[in-house]
Amino acid sequence: MSRRGFVTIEILIAMVIGFLAIIMLFASVKSLQKITLQQRLYEDLYTTVLSLSDTIKAQECRKNPTLEGRLNGFDYTIACEQKKVMKNFQESYDETTYEDTGGNFGIFMIYLFEVTIEVRQGGLKKSYRFYQSEQERLVSEEELLDEMLQSM
């Protein structure tokens, strides 16, 4: 082969390598853009779920067992399912027999809810579950004070 044939092959190989480098560059840029967009989406999703968690605590599951709406571009549905209800534990013991007489007969009613948050945007749909407790005072401070004064 002549010197000219080697130069032609070298040029073709250099062009193929250059072409592959350009393809890899475009693929990397496209992948980076996709990752950046996904990162922003998950940051917004995280902020939205935290805000919804605060909303649930403020709204109280006892009063609003379901909520729907839109926040930060996401549609959401919140469902609270009551799992358990009982009075708070009151410690006490019998001074004559030293037996434990404590039990769940305190002045607060404790509620345990399983909260499900479903967040949607476009084709994305995510669900989150957690437990939340709430309490309700059964006896007002005035009634409790009167009861304590009467027992003295």
Structure tokens at 99: 């037996």
Asked if residue 112 has pLDDT above 60, the reply is yes
Q: Is the dihedral of CA 102, 104, 110, 115 positive or negative?
A: positive
Position 136 scores a pLDDT of 87
Could you tell me which residues are beta bridge partners of residue 124?
Answer: 121
Is the full-model pTM beyond 0.75?
Answer: no
pLDDT at residue number 127:
94
**Tokens found for residue 105:** 């007969």
Task: Identify the pLDDT of residue 5.
Answer: 66
Residue 1 has pLDDT above 80, yes or no: no
Quick: pLDDT tens for 8-46.
888 899 999 999 999 999 999 999 999 988 888 888 888
Q: Can you give the pLDDT at residue 63?
A: 85
pLDDT of residue 38: 85
Distance CA 58, CA 64 (A): 10
Q: In the chain, what are the helix, strand and coil shares in percent, each to the nearest 5?
A: 45, 35, 20
User: Which alpha helices (DSSP H) does 1-152 contain, by range?
Assistant: 3-59, 141-150
Residue 93 clears pLDDT 90, i.e. is over it: no
* pLDDT category of residue 56 using cuts at 50, 70 and 90: confident
Q: Are residues 46 and 126 in contact, defined by beta-carbon separation less than 8 angstroms?
A: no
Q: What pLDDT, on the 0 to 100 scale, is given for residue 58?
A: 80
